[in-house]
A and B are shown apart, each in its own frame.
Chain A
C-alpha cells in the first residue's frame, strides 16, 4: 500500500472551509443572517461552547456583546442555559458541533428543550463529512438522533442561500429547532431570487420523468450536478430537496415517488436513521412498490483525511448519485 505525500491529500485545519468546487461562495452566511435577524429582534441572544469563531457566531458576539454568552466547553450546560433563556422569553441560538450537541447533550435537548417545546435553536457545525477529522468530529448520526426527539424541528440546509433563509424562518418559529451548520466559505447553489425555504416543505428543484432523486443538505448541490450528468446521458431526473427532515413532507415525497417509482436518496449522513429512512418509512407505510437506492455514509466511523478523499472513499459525490440512478434505470430496462 502506498501512502500519498501530496499536499492536496492531507487533513485540513479544523477551521478551514470546504467549498466543494463551487463557483460562488458566501462568507459566514449563518453569522451574517443572525446579525440581520438580531437587529430586528432584540430578543435574539447567542451562546456557544468554546466554538464561537468555528461556528461563525463570533460575528454576532462582536456586534451584540451584551447579548452573547460564552459558556466554555460544556455542552450540557450550553443547551440547559439556552432552555433557561428561552423560558425567560429570549430566542437563544446555541452553537457547537453536531457531534457535541447530539452526543454529549442529548438528554438536555430532549428534556430541557424539546419536552416543554422551549424556543431553543441548536446550530450544529461539521455535519457529516465536512471535516477531515475522524469519528470524533464528523456528525454522521446526528439527524437520526434528532429525528427521534418529539417536538424538535430538524433542518439540514443546502447552501448559503438556504442557510440565511432558515435562520430567518426559525427565528420567527416558536419552538425547538436543530439546524446543521455550514460555516466559513459556503457555496451559493440555490438562486436567492427564486428559492424560498419553508419549514417542513420539500422543494422540487428539477422536473424529470425517469428517476427521482431525493436529497438533503449539501448533497443537494451534488445532486444538481448529478441531474446534469444524467440529462446528458439521456436520463430525465427529477430532484426533490428535503431540507426539513422533521416534520417530514410526506405528501410531496409520496406524490413524486408515485409518479416515478425509481428513487435515489442522497444525504451527508448515515443511510439509516436520516433521509433515506424517512423516505423508506413513507413508502412502506403507503404500501407502494418502489426501487430505492441510498447514497450516504455507511454505518461506520469514518476515516480522517482530506475532504475530497473522504467524499470519494464513501461514495458521496455527484457521480455516485448519478451512478445509483443509472443502475436503477438499467435494472428497470432488464426487467422490461
Chain B
C-alpha cells in the first residue's frame, strides 16, 4: 500500500495495545504536570479507547492527513484533547516534543482542542457538535463510495445536549452503519455526576430506542473494547453506539479516588507520586503481556 496505515497490522495483541495505552498515559501526565492542571482525569480514562483506535482500528496516514480514504475520528468533547494529543503524538501526526506546549500561549495544543491541531477533523468543545458532523461525513464518504468509517467520541454529560439526539435520529434514519459513536460514561460533568446534574440513564436503552446497534462495556478493558468494535462491524444496517464505563484518572490511584475530578489541580509535589502510581499500575500488565 503506497499510503495509509492499516492500524491492525501495526498492533494486534492485547499486550501491545496495553503498552500503547500506557505510553498515552505517560504523555498525558507529562502534559498535565507541565501546566500543573488540566483534564488529566478524562485523558487517563479514555486512553484505552484511543490506543485501540489509533494503533489497531483506524486507517490513516500520519504523513498525509487529507488522505481521502482515511477513517475519521471526531472529538466532540474538546477538553479530552489531552488524550488525543497523546494519541496523535504516538501516531506520528504531531511531534512528541510538542506535547510540552499543552495549554501554553501560542501552542497548537489548546486546553480545549480545535481543528487548528493537525489530526483534529473538527472543532468540539462546545458540546453536541461531534455527532452531527459525523453524520455529514458519513453521508459524504458513502456518496463517494469510500470504505471510510467515522468514529465519534462523546461523553455522558454531552448526552444532555439536544443536538446529539437530532444527529442520533438522522444517523439511524440514513442507516449510517459505518458510523461509530463511543460514549464515555465516566459519571462526572462540570457540576457533578450526571445522576445529580441531569440524569442521562438508561444510556444504552436510549440509543437502542433511537435505532442504533448498542453495546455497553468496561471502557478500561482493552480486550472488551476490541471485541465490541469487532462485534459492531459484523452488524450492518444501523449506526453503532458503544457505551464505555470508564474510570476518570485510570492508572493513577490518587486521581481515580479524587472526589471532584472534572478539572484536576495537582500540587507540585503530587506529580512524582502520580508518576509512580502509573508505573505501579503498569507493572502487572507488563508481566501479563510478556
Question: Does A66 make an interface contact (CB < 8 A)?
Answer: yes
Q: Is the interface of B mostly helix, strand, loop or mixed?
A: helix
Contact A88–B132 (Cβ < 8 Å): no
Stretch of A106-114, A122-130, A321-329 on the interface side: A106-114
CB-defined contacts of A72 to chain B, threshold 8 Å: 166, 169-170, 173
Contact B133–A112 (Cβ < 8 Å): yes
CB-defined contacts of B140 to chain A, threshold 8 Å: 84-85, 87-90
Residues 68-86 (chain A) with a chain B CB within 8 angstroms: 69, 71-72, 74, 76-77, 79-86
CB-defined contacts of B129 to chain A, threshold 8 Å: 80, 107-108, 111-112
Cα A98 to Cα B155 with chains together (Å): 31
Question: Does B123 make an interface contact (CB < 8 A)?
Answer: yes
Contact A71–B162 (Cβ < 8 Å): no
Cα A107 to Cα B132 with chains together (Å): 13
Cα A148 to Cα B114 with chains together (Å): 20
Contact A66–B143 (Cβ < 8 Å): yes
Residue-by-residue, is B118-149 near A (CB-CB < 8 Å gives 1, otherwise 0)? 00011101101101111111111101100000
Contact B163–A88 (Cβ < 8 Å): no
A78 to chain B, nearest CB (A): 8
Contact B115–A116 (Cβ < 8 Å): yes
Q: Looking across the interface, which residue of chain B has its beta carbon closest to that of A94? A: B136
B59 to chain A, nearest CB (A): 15
Q: Looking across the interface, which residue of chain B has its beta carbon closest to that of A69? A: B139
B68 to chain A, nearest CB (A): 7
A69 to chain B, nearest CB (A): 6
Contact B166–A77 (Cβ < 8 Å): yes
Contact B143–A80 (Cβ < 8 Å): no
List 9 interface pairs A-B (beta carbons < 8 Å), by A numbering: A76-B132, A83-B136, A84-B134, A84-B138, A87-B122, A107-B126, A112-B123, A115-B114, A115-B115
Contact A45–B170 (Cβ < 8 Å): no
Contact A87–B167 (Cβ < 8 Å): no
A198 to chain B, nearest CB (A): 29
Q: Looking across the interface, which residue of chain A has its beta carbon closest to that of B148? A: A88
A295 to chain B, nearest CB (A): 37
Residue with the greatest number of chain B CB neighbours at <10 A, chosen from A72, A79, A80, A87 = A80
Question: Does A164 make an interface contact (CB < 8 A)?
Answer: no
Question: Does B174 make an interface contact (CB < 8 A)?
Answer: yes
Cα A81 to Cα B68 with chains together (Å): 18
Residues 59-107 (chain B) with a chain A CB within 8 angstroms: 68
Contact B132–A112 (Cβ < 8 Å): yes
Cα A115 to Cα B170 with chains together (Å): 24
Residue with the greatest number of chain B CB neighbours at <10 A, chosen from A77, A107, A108, A112 = A77
Q: Looking across the interface, which residue of chain B has its beta carbon closest to that of A86? A: B136
CB-defined contacts of A315 to chain B, threshold 8 Å: none
Contact A77–B170 (Cβ < 8 Å): yes
A108 to chain B, nearest CB (A): 7
Residue with the greatest number of chain A CB neighbours at <10 A, chosen from B133, B138, B140, B141 = B133
CB-defined contacts of B144 to chain A, threshold 8 Å: 88-89
Question: Does A203 make an interface contact (CB < 8 A)?
Answer: no
B221 to chain A, nearest CB (A): 31
Contact B143–A45 (Cβ < 8 Å): yes
Residue with the greatest number of chain A CB neighbours at <10 A, chosen from B114, B137, B140 = B140
Question: Does A67 make an interface contact (CB < 8 A)?
Answer: yes
Contact B132–A90 (Cβ < 8 Å): no
Contact B167–A77 (Cβ < 8 Å): yes
Contact of B126 among A84, A92, A111 (CB under 8 A): A111
A95 to chain B, nearest CB (A): 15
Cα A77 to Cα B169 with chains together (Å): 10
Contact B123–A84 (Cβ < 8 Å): no
CB-defined contacts of B134 to chain A, threshold 8 Å: 84
Contact B126–A76 (Cβ < 8 Å): no
CB-defined contacts of B126 to chain A, threshold 8 Å: 107, 111
Cα A203 to Cα B163 with chains together (Å): 40
Q: Looking across the interface, which residue of chain B has its beta carbon closest to that of A75? A: B166
Contact A80–B123 (Cβ < 8 Å): no
CB-defined contacts of B115 to chain A, threshold 8 Å: 115-116
Cα A244 to Cα B128 with chains together (Å): 31
Residue-by-residue, is B165-207 near A (CB-CB < 8 Å gives 1, otherwise 0)? 0110110011000000000000000000000000000000000
Q: Assuming A67-B143, A88-B144, is B136 touching A76 (CB within 8 A)?
A: no
Contact B132–A89 (Cβ < 8 Å): no
Q: Assuming A72-B170, A84-B136, is B163 touching A108 (CB within 8 A)?
A: yes
